[in-house]
Amino acid sequence: MNFFSFRFLTFIVSVFILTIAILLSPNVRMFTTPRTLLSRLLPLGNRPAPTATPPHNNEVPPITSKSDNSHSKTNTSPAPANMSTTSRTPVYFLSHGGPNIMYEKDHPVFPKLQEIGREITQRVKPKAVVVFSAHWQAKPNAIEINTFEDTELIYDFYGFPSHYYEETYPNKGSFPIAQHVIELLTKHDIQVSGTRRGLDHGVWASFKVAFDPLTNPLQVPVIQVSLFATESPTQHLALGRAVSALRSEGICLIMSGMAVHNLRDMRFGFDDVQPYAKSFDEALREAVEGEGDRDEKMIALLKRKDARGAHPSFEHLLPVHVGVGAAAGDAGKRLWTLVEGPFSWAQYRWGELP
């Protein structure tokens, strides 16, 4: 080997060593992690799913859904590292009433909601709350999730005094947790997409009572998930089963609806306890607390003769089905009830307290 060949070989080796050093340097932003580097080197079809980034401004998060016939995976972030616990959080169903519940401190349900709220903040101590409300039905075969951290409240009610529409409720969402929920639903073959949507009054009005910002603040993320836009009990039982795993990660699942809900009869002035309200309230308790095939009992509720009296439409009942699915066999318990005219204020919990 002559002198020039040796110098050229030395130069090539030096360049190679310098290149490797640059690639492995933590200060080089384009190659911040081995995974990022690997994704640049793998063929397109074999690359790992990219990690989603939090949305900014009004940008819609880059989320895709999985259809029944698709084998694609959602673009999701991994669950936060601190999402783990040895015990399962309870599941709750709250009969939320109308927005006026915020002001009716003399109503019997007011202190009961406060009691449940203190139970959640002081005993359950969740890392986050995932909530399902009767007032958000997305699509017949798809679920939607709010993936944004900062949203406005939704004043989805009419004819109330102006100060109702000036109410506030401090809350924060969580993009990583929302993405984690999307991943769980996708694994259970439930079509799902992220969106920007504030809390509706089925959540924030009752939460202002249960989790008063001054006396019992809920200082954890609140992520709202829709129902299906159907009256299918089996769909909503499956929805609950799909998110049940969140309970082992320190996340509390809260369902918001009404045990009996007939606004039509209220508008007609039926103030006395209605026969269907009392009978259906008791049938619901038996289905939730009873032994045996609880799913079948929950499905049978919708076929009862008094079902359409208790619920002219089933959206306020179906959150109970989500709760039963999420309970994963844990015993259900009616914490309290009050049958009032064409309504029932029953409150439920599945699972044991810590």
pLDDT of residue 16: 55
Name residue 222's beta-bridge partners. 129
| pLDDT above 70: residue 27 | no
pLDDT of residue 285: 99
Instruction: Give tens-digit pLDDT for 36-52.
Output: 222 222 222 322 333 33
pLDDT of residue 271: 84
Name the token pair of 94.
């709250």
277-302: average pLDDT: 97
Q: Maximum distance among all alpha carbons in the chain?
A: 108
Instruction: Give tens-digit pLDDT for 228-249.
Output: 999 999 999 999 999 999 999 9
Name the token pair of 226.
């829709």
pLDDT of residue 245: 98
Pick the closest to residue 74 from 224, 214, 183 (CA basis). 183
**Percent with pLDDT over 70 in the chain:** 76
Q: How confident is the model at residue 14 (pLDDT cuts 50, 70, 90)?
A: low
| pLDDT above 70: residue 67 | no
| pLDDT above 80: residue 80 | no
88-100: average pLDDT: 98
Alpha helices (runs of H) in 175-317, residue ranges in sequence order:
175-187, 201-210, 233-243, 263-267, 275-289, 294-301, 307-310
| pLDDT above 80: residue 140 | yes
For the chain, give the mean pLDDT.
Answer: 83
pLDDT of residue 11: 54
Contact predicate 134/258, CB 8 Å: yes
Q: Where are the domains of the chain?
A: 3-46, 91-350
pLDDT of residue 292: 87
| pLDDT above 60: residue 311 | yes
Q: Which fold has domain 91-350?
A: Protocatechuate 4,5-dioxygenase; Chain B (3.40.830)
Handedness of CA 166, 169, 174, 177 (dihedral sign): negative
CA dist 177 to 110, 183, 222, 223, Å?
A: 30, 10, 10, 8
Query: Among the listed ranges 1-5, 301-305, 306-310, 311-315, which one has the minimum average pLDDT value?
Result: 1-5
Which carries the bigger pLDDT value, residue 72 or residue 126?
Answer: 126
| pLDDT above 50: residue 147 | yes
Q: How confident is the model at residue 291 (pLDDT cuts 50, 70, 90)?
A: confident
Q: How confident is the model at residue 78 (pLDDT cuts 50, 70, 90)?
A: very low
Pick the closest to residue 223 from 253, 245, 183, 202 (CA basis). 253
| pLDDT above 50: residue 269 | yes
Torsion angle of the four alpha carbons 126, 236, 52, 77, in this order, in degrees rounded to the nearest 10: 50
pLDDT of residue 13: 53
Pick the closest to residue 281 from 255, 267, 301 (CA basis). 301
Name residue 344's beta-bridge partners. 260, 339
pLDDT of residue 17: 52
pLDDT of residue 33: 30
